[in-house]
Amino acid sequence: MSEKNRLGNFFEDFQVGQKIAHAPPRTITEGDVALYTALTGSRFATNSADTFAHSLGFPRAPVDDILAFNMVFGRTVQDISLNAIANLGYAGGRFGHPVYPGDTLSADSTVIGLRENSDGRSGIVHVRSCGVNQRGQIALEYCRWVMVHKRDPQSPAPPTCVPELPDAIDVGELVVPAGIRLNQYDTSLSGSNELWEDYAAGERIDHVDGVTIEEGEHMLATRLYQNASRVHFNQQSERGGRFGRRVVYGGHILSLARALSFNGLANAFTIAAINGGRHVSPAFAGDTIYAWTEVIAPLALPGRSDVGALRLRTVATKDQPCTNFPYKTADGTHEAGVLLDLDYTVLIPRRA
């Protein structure tokens, strides 16, 4: 029997400092953008219209940041998380050069931490993943940590190494895409008048709409990113698995949360950072996804009067409208029904 098929890396295959080039690279196209719109309903004007993007100084409409994120993430799965038990969290995510249709993204990951679990059957792998375009410009980089099975529970534990990760990307490190000027930003075309000055720390926004996920949809999204993690696709094997059914790829929940956030954050034209995030619980076909956002802090950007940043917490739920902003219980754990807890930073025009 051939061993040419790949079963993915197990915990003992990783070493701190190891750098893994992921395959294959991926040319992003207008076709990907159309599918992303059809799968998420995203309406941000900068991603929707070349004309609008051009008026801000973009050569054309950049692709949605979460589409770019999912494309990079998709590259990493085969090497990092094919044998993952859980995708535990994100931190230190920063978006760099915008991604345009025609760009080819490659990705690599560096192992930055390892910690075996006490039962000796699995461990936590921390990686920093980076997506670059065909000119070597960084599109985004982020850290994530996943719990991965050991192939052999008898294999020795590696030295424990847990990386120090920042609570948030510093405002001085946020990238405003080169050449962008927000003075011409036309709020009649973006769908909202609310700009940077209109958001206050502590403000909470219910994004109102809910969207029910179908099996066909989440699998289309996940395959679009060439994410081959089997838990999303194989109903026969998952029937006997942990949840009895296929699990929705967490990145699709990220996409839906960002798309839903348009209703209240229509002018948050780009994501600059993912400070931290957790997929709190799994979603399944049939679940209806809602989201709400708290403004953690408005942030002025050094030297810019045309654009500011908002650090946000967006929470996505399932089967739970967000009128009352469901989040955590008294004991600090997330309420049942919370899917995603995402701390991120967006850019938004300032009032002239």
266 binds a copy of itself (CB under 8 A): yes
18 binds a copy of itself (CB under 8 A): no
21 binds a copy of itself (CB under 8 A): yes
Q: List the structure tokens of 39.
A: 């799968």
Taking the complex as a whole, the smallest distance from the CB of residue 217 to a copy of itself amounts, in Å, to 5
Q: Which of 222, 270 has the CB closer to a copy of itself?
A: 222
46 vs 87: CA distance, rounded Å: 30
335 binds a copy of itself (CB under 8 A): no
235 vs 242: CA distance, rounded Å: 12
- Span of 22-30, 145-153, 154-162, 326-334 interacting with a copy of itself by CB under 8 A: 22-30
Q: Rule CB under 8 A: choose which of 136, 188, 240, 303 binds a copy of itself.
A: 188
Taking the complex as a whole, the smallest distance from the CB of residue 209 to a copy of itself amounts, in Å, to 6
Q: Rule CB under 8 A: choose which of 89, 192, 297, 327 binds a copy of itself.
A: 192
- Identify the H or E element spanning 80: helix 65-80
Q: Which of 161, 297 has the CB closer to a copy of itself?
A: 297
311 binds a copy of itself (CB under 8 A): no
Encode 293-317: b = buried (16+ Cβ within 10 Å), e = exposed: bbbbebbebeeeebbbbbbbbbbbb
Taking the complex as a whole, the smallest distance from the CB of residue 228 to a copy of itself amounts, in Å, to 6
Within residues 193-232, the interface with a copy of itself by CB under 8 A covers 194, 198, 203-212, 214-217, 219-224, 226, 228, 230
Contact present, 140 and 95 (Cβ < 8 Å):
yes
Q: Rule CB under 8 A: choose which of 104, 117, 155, 281 binds a copy of itself.
A: 104
Within residues 123-152, the interface with a copy of itself by CB under 8 A covers 134
Taking the complex as a whole, the smallest distance from the CB of residue 308 to a copy of itself amounts, in Å, to 16
3 contact partners, CB below 8 Å, separation of at least 6: none
195 vs 142: CA distance, rounded Å: 27
Taking the complex as a whole, the smallest distance from the CB of residue 339 to a copy of itself amounts, in Å, to 14
Compute CA distances 297 → 72, 135, 171, 310, whole Å.
28, 34, 11, 6
Q: Which of 168, 265 has the CB closer to a copy of itself?
A: 265
229 vs 252: CA distance, rounded Å: 13
13 binds a copy of itself (CB under 8 A): no
Phi and psi at 292, nearest 5°, equal -140, 160
Q: Nearest-CA neighbor of 312 among 265, 351, 269?
A: 265
Taking the CA atoms of residue 251, residue 254, residue 259 and residue 263 in that order, the dihedral angle to the nearest 10 degrees is 170
Q: Rule CB under 8 A: choose which of 9, 14, 32, 123 binds a copy of itself.
A: 32
Within residues 148-177, the interface with a copy of itself by CB under 8 A covers none
Give the three-class secondary structure for 189.
helix
Vertex 332 angle, CA 129 and 127, to 5°: 10
Within residues 231-250, the interface with a copy of itself by CB under 8 A covers 233-237, 246
DSSP label at residue 135:
T
- Span of 2-10, 110-118, 119-127, 333-341 interacting with a copy of itself by CB under 8 A: 2-10
Q: Which of 26, 128 has the CB closer to a copy of itself?
A: 26
297 binds a copy of itself (CB under 8 A): no
Sign of the CA dihedral running 334, 337, 342, 343 = negative
Q: Which of 123, 210 has the CB closer to a copy of itself?
A: 210
Residue 335 burial (CB count, 10 A): 14
- Identify the H or E element spanning 252: helix 250-260
38 binds a copy of itself (CB under 8 A): yes
